[in-house]
């Protein structure tokens, strides 16, 4: 069993990945989360332009948000909301900087730049490659990244309140990982499912550009 797992992650076994489809997005097998060597399409346009105004007004209530969302600036783009439990940011990421230093969805899928305490690959709505991971200066953020066929992932990040994060930073402590998984990772995953259903209902990771 250990040998089989090693072959999968080393890229020695071809993944049972469905071909790109120009019609309905193919269903993805749960087995695919074990593979590092997947072919992540990059030909589709971004499904989100990083402004709150473009999102359906009813979506924010469906996401469980109770406060007024606001669009972030170009230096740190996305749509954010401050809630009693913390902060949520929805962002369509894109590779930036020098070509040799740009990060694509495949890099995120293989764990580059993520916290090691929590990293989970999964299939969202049978059609999207997704992963959820811990981040933040004190392990205070949980991000769900979704591959929509664009260069970079669509991300939903849930974070603890700023004052709590700053206190932990001064105390040189990390936020409790079990609490993060239970309260923030689960929240980011649920929000990601609602978001994708609203803004990319016919999409998927193996949908061809068109």
- Read off the pLDDT of residues 8-48 as tens digits, 9 standing for 90 and up: 444 567 788 999 988 889 999 999 999 999 999 999 999 99
pLDDT per residue as tens digits for the range 50-59: 999 999 999 9
Give the structural domain span for 60.
Answer: 2-199
Please, what sign has the CA dihedral across residues 96, 101, 102, 107?
A: negative
As a whole number of angstroms, the distance between CA 79 and CA 89 comes to 6
Among 60-69, 93-102, 139-148, which is the least confidently predicted range? 93-102
Domain-located, residue 50: yes
As a whole number of angstroms, the distance between CA 180 and CA 160 comes to 8
Beta-sheet strand order (sheet of 141-146): 70-71, 79-83, 86-92, 154-159, 141-146, 128-135, 119-124
List phi, psi (to 5°) of 136.
95, 160
Domain-located, residue 208: no
Domain-located, residue 105: yes
As a whole number of angstroms, the distance between CA 158 and CA 81 comes to 10
Predicted pLDDT of residue 113:
65
Mean pLDDT to the nearest integer, 172-184? 97
Instruction: Name the domain count of the chain.
Output: 1
């Amino acid at each position: 069993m250990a040998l089989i797992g090693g072959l999968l992650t080393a890229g020695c076994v071809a993944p049972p990945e469905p071909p790109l489809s120009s019609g309905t997005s193919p269903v993805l097998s749960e087995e695919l989360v074990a593979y590092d060597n997947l072919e992540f399409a990059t030909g589709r346009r971004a499904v989100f332009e990083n402004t709150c105004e473009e999102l359906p007004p009813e979506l924010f209530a469906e996401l469980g948000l109770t406060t007024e969302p606001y669009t972030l600036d170009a230096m740190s783009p996305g749509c954010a909301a401050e809630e009693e439990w913390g902060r949520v940011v929805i962002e369509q990421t894109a590779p930036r900087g020098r070509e040799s230093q740009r990060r694509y969805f495949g890099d995120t899928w293989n764990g580059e730049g993520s916290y090691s305490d929590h990293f989970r690959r999964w299939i969202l709505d049978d059609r999207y490659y997704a992963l959820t991971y811990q981040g933040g200066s004190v392990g205070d953020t949980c991000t769900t990244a979704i591959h929509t066929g664009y260069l970079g992932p669509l991300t939903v990040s849930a974070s603890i309140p700023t004052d709590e994060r700053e206190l932990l930073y001064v105390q040189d402590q990390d936020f409790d990982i079990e609490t993060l998984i239970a309260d923030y990772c689960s929240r980011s995953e649920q929000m990601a499912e609602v978001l994708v259903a609203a803004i990319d209902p016919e999409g998927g990771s193996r949908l061809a550009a068109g």
